[in-house]
Amino acid sequence: MTSLSEKGTSLSALLVLALFLSGVNDSWGTQPARGSAFSSFVRVSGHVVKTIDGDSFHILTSDSLLLKVRLFGVDAPEKDQLYGTEATDFAATQLQNKSVLLQIRDRDRYGRWVADVLVLPNKPRGGGPKGDTLNLAHSMLEKGMAWWYEKYAAKEKQMQKLFEQAQRKKVGLWGQADVQAPWEYRRFPHQNK
């Protein structure tokens, strides 16, 4: 396994970076959502090897490149936060033994690739991501496992709709009495212990 943080960055990593920086659009034949701040994507496929929490995981590409990924548009509770374990377990279950396609949008301050994540069925039908794919962010929102991260995904109206529906129906973490947004929890960690 090769990590992007290691000195000997592989040719695959350079290709991914070059495509990302050049703005090549290889987005499964679709364009970003109307009004999206991103006009192009880089497509990467791989197999999930580790789930960190509800919105972060590692994938291993077909070229044996290890990528650290942050799910675009949602913010799941931290592991030690109320409903953090449930959100992490939900994401892990969705990703377990699955391959994913990423549409990379950005790189965060921690060096993770911020991406839309499509989880592929175990036995792909019809030669591609059509059919039984799962949009992980949408699933997290629909099941009440994460917040819509409005700060970064304000134009993502489908995410907003799923988020608000889960809140109204008191699904997942919205059935709890005292929920705290992860960004607030991270802001005051000493008060949360």
- The pLDDT value recorded for residue 31 is 36
Catalytic site includes residue 70: yes
Domain boundaries, the chain: 2-136
Longest dimension (CA), the chain: 51
Catalytic site includes residue 184: no
Buried b / exposed e along 52-84 (16+ C-beta atoms within 10 A): bbbbbbbbbbeeebbbbbbbbbbbbbbeebbbb
Q: Record the pTM.
A: 0.75
Catalytic site includes residue 112: yes
* Catalytic one of 70, 86, 105, 156: 70
Q: How far apart are CA 28 and CA 144, in angstroms?
A: 28
Residue range 2-136, CATH number = 2.40.50.90
* Catalytic one of 86, 105, 112, 156: 112
Q: Residue-wise pLDDT tens for the chain (193 aa)?
A: 444 444 333 334 434 444 444 343 333 333 334 333 333 457 788 889 999 999 999 999 888 999 999 999 999 999 989 999 999 999 999 998 888 889 999 999 999 999 999 998 876 455 554 556 899 999 999 999 999 999 999 999 999 999 999 999 999 999 998 899 999 998 876 565 5
Alpha helices (runs of H) in the chain, residue ranges in sequence order: 11-22, 84-95, 136-142, 150-153, 157-169, 182-187
